[in-house]
Amino acid sequence: MSVVRLRLACHGQRNRPFYHVVAINVRKARDARPLEKLGEYDPIPKPLPDNPSVTEKRITWNADRIRYWLGVGAQPSPTVARLLEMANLIPEGKLFKGTSKFPTCTIVYYMKLTGLDQSCWPNIIITFLTVSFPPP
């Protein structure tokens, strides 16, 4: 069984990026033929026709198919996970565990120094950003 990932496939021209949201095998190249195209993402802000002072980044996708792929075990890339969280298609921070800014061993070392338990995990990151400790 192959592992499937939801990620962005780069299209467009130089200095005008355009992405397709695709379901693809993790071992395939970024722009390889996907299992299924799920949507499109245009990161360049464009003015709205009725109000030119307001810009928008356009994202269109098939939410039912994205839910299907997530249901069968496909993992979103960090960027796609962020987009899905913004659209409330996945709970924030629950489905995809991306890479941490700080290594786990450093956080555990900090927890041992301060005597904190794992119940205050979100507060550790904020405290760790403000207090500088040497690595273990």
Domain ranges of the chain: 4-86, 100-136
Q: Which residue has the higher pLDDT, 112 or 123?
A: 112
User: Could you report the per-residue pLDDT of 55-83, keeping only the tens digit for each?
Assistant: 777 888 888 888 888 888 888 988 888 88
User: Could you report the per-residue pLDDT of 73-115, keeping only the tens digit for each?
Assistant: 888 988 888 888 888 777 776 545 544 444 444 444 445 555 5
Fold of 4-86: S16 Ribosomal Protein; Chain: A; (3.30.1320)
Q: Which residues contact 9 (CB under 8 A, 6 or more apart)?
A: 19, 20, 21, 22, 24, 30, 31, 34
- Tokens found for residue 16: 């005008």
